[in-house]
Amino acid sequence: MTERALPLVMGVVNVTPDSFSDGGRWFDAEAAIAHGVELVAQGADLVDVGGESTRPGAARVEPEEELRRVVPVIRELAGRGIRVSVDTMRAATAAAAVEAGAEIINDVSAGLADEAMAEIAAATGARYVAMHWRGHSDRMDALAEYADVAREVRDELSARVDALVAAGVAADRLILDPGLGFAKRGEQNWELLARLDELQALGFPVLVGASRKRFLGAMLPEGAPVEERDLPTAVVSALSAEAGAWAVRVHDVVATRRALDVVGAWQSGRRG
């Protein structure tokens, strides 16, 4: 395979009481800040702070509550020199987060959940992650119907790119995410990963967010703790590196960093 630059590692900080992946361990602001600092010490290049769970079936939180959760955490982490992204579908939260120091807006709806998001992304000049999305968490499982999942995800994201650029978002600030687990069944996620090059053909950096998701859990014994999905996640991170991903979004930074170290060593062997 052709040698590629290793992807950035984006560590996840869920400032929520109901995340599927960590059960609210970082809901307290001080705990969330400490966790973000720890993730960077473990090798994260940036930290993604979110205040609203997007697990299947999750209810939405009030806008004021989302702001209360994420802004103090982002301000403190950014103040310590840590690169921060904000995981939000709301334009007002994105604006406040960028003002507090976030440099990336990670929007799982690609601007579809809040029509003001494109304007905010354009005005702030922040980098903007547009994820493939067909509907909110309470109904997304019913929307996983595709004739050709990779082609349709590519085409739907391409349409979002056109709309965002038309609204003033600079094309060189855009990052695409195939939306693994969002309106996707297990086998559809694997097909998207195997055909990641088709999404990359649009010419934008690609973020892969597979960490601890259901399709990885399906590979494990029934009832296995969610943390046991970290090893499969690390393998996906390594394969995503070989496929040319710009970044991988993970909960267990240590496992993914070690997997990427192996990829880097393998690549150095090719140079030898």
Q: Which residues are annotated as catalytic?
A: 213, 249
Q: How far is CA 178 from CA 157, 174, 193, 196, 236, in A?
A: 8, 13, 9, 8, 14
DSSP per residue over 100-167, as a string? Answer: HT--EEEETTTTSS-TTHHHHHHHH--EEEEE---S-TTTGGGG---SSHHHHHHHHHHHHHHHHHHT
**Contact (CB, 8 A) for 256 and 42:** no
The separation between CA 266 and the C-alpha centre of its own chain, rounded to angstroms, equals 26
The separation between the first and the last C-alpha atoms of the chain, rounded to the nearest angstrom, is: 15
**Contact (CB, 8 A) for 119 and 169:** no
Residue 261: both structure tokens together: 């170290």
4 phi and psi angles, rounded to 5 deg = -130, 160
| Four-residue CA torsion sign, 98, 64, 108, 7 | positive
- Residue 172 DSSP one-character state: G
- Element spanning 14, H or E: strand 8-14
